[in-house]
Amino acid sequence: MAYAHVSLASDVLRMSTSVALVLPQRATTQIGTTGREPAGDPPVLYLLHGLSDDETAWTRRTSIERYAEEAGIAVVMPRVERSFYQDMAHGERYWTYVSQELPELVQRMFRVSDRREDTFVAGQSMGGYGAMRMALAHPERFAAAASLSGALHMAHPQVRAERGDFYATAFGEADITGTDADLLALLRRRDLAELPALMLACGEQDDLLPMQHAFLAVAADVGVPVSVSLTPGEHEWGYWDARIRDVVDWLPVRR
């Protein structure tokens, strides 16, 4: 695999920003790794970070490069600060950047597939929210989406009451219930036939476990199938390293 850390100019954000990438590369002389290059442009996983992290978190704290190598996929990891993947009420337009501009830049600058069946999205915590929002808002772009310990019910009144420090900056003061920022509302509005495959994983000792149950209850109510893994674990990187390997194995990657 090749690893790249890129500074690029974003017209949407009106500034430079950073993206980390791992890209398939066949290697014949490296010990312990061989790499695999798929025929044609490789599938791509957009992998989103959590609230306190940045674009380097996944490569520093997990073995995502090794897992991606085994699958023959590219991985794109953007930096979105503490935006909660929103066009922020008081900040930059990170939703427009990550959902529209970034994929266009990646496809223009790097050799990755632009086909729906080769495009996936995943993330942990805040990134789990971002991944599910991208999949539900743009099901025509993704074949599969996965959330690890995702903050999937940000419209819950308790979230606004307890996390006002970042909530108002990202979402504003208004109630987001029923808006496009409300994942449960998005889930209810989507036609089952158009949705990508969905996966949800969370540790049973994670404080965000109730959000998973809320999301799954709506999914069951509207008949949306979700692959679920609720196993012992907390909100930490040891759990996410194990689960992101499960995600990569689960992705419908063409072999």
Q: What is the pLDDT along the chain (255 residues), one digit of tens a residue?
A: 899 999 999 999 999 999 999 999 877 677 777 666 667 899 999 999 999 999 999 999 999 999 999 999 999 999 999 999 999 999 999 999 999 999 999 999 999 999 999 999 999 999 999 999 999 999 999 999 999 999 999 999 888 777 767 889 999 988 999 999 999 999 999 888 889 999 999 999 999 999 999 999 999 999 999 999 999 999 999 999 999 999 999 999 986
Q: Check: pTM over 0.75? Answer yes or no.
A: yes
Q: pLDDT at position 159, please?
A: 84
Extract the runs of DSSP E, i.e. beta strands, from the chain: 2-10, 15-23, 44-48, 74-78, 119-124, 144-148, 197-203, 227-231
pLDDT at site 34: 66
Provide the β-strand partners of residue 45: 75, 120
Q: Please state the separation of Cα 250 from the chain's center in Å.
A: 15
- pLDDT number for residue 233: 98
pLDDT recorded at residue 254: 82
pLDDT of residue 59: 98
Evaluate the CA torsion angle 199, 206, 219, 137 in order and state its sign. Answer: negative
Q: What's the confidence (pLDDT) of residue 216?
A: 98
160 contacts 173 by C-beta, under 8 angstroms: no
Q: What is the reported pLDDT for 15?
A: 98
Position 213 scores a pLDDT of: 98
Supply the pLDDT for residue 208: 97
Q: How far is Cα 133 from Cα 130, in angstroms, rounded to an integer? A: 5
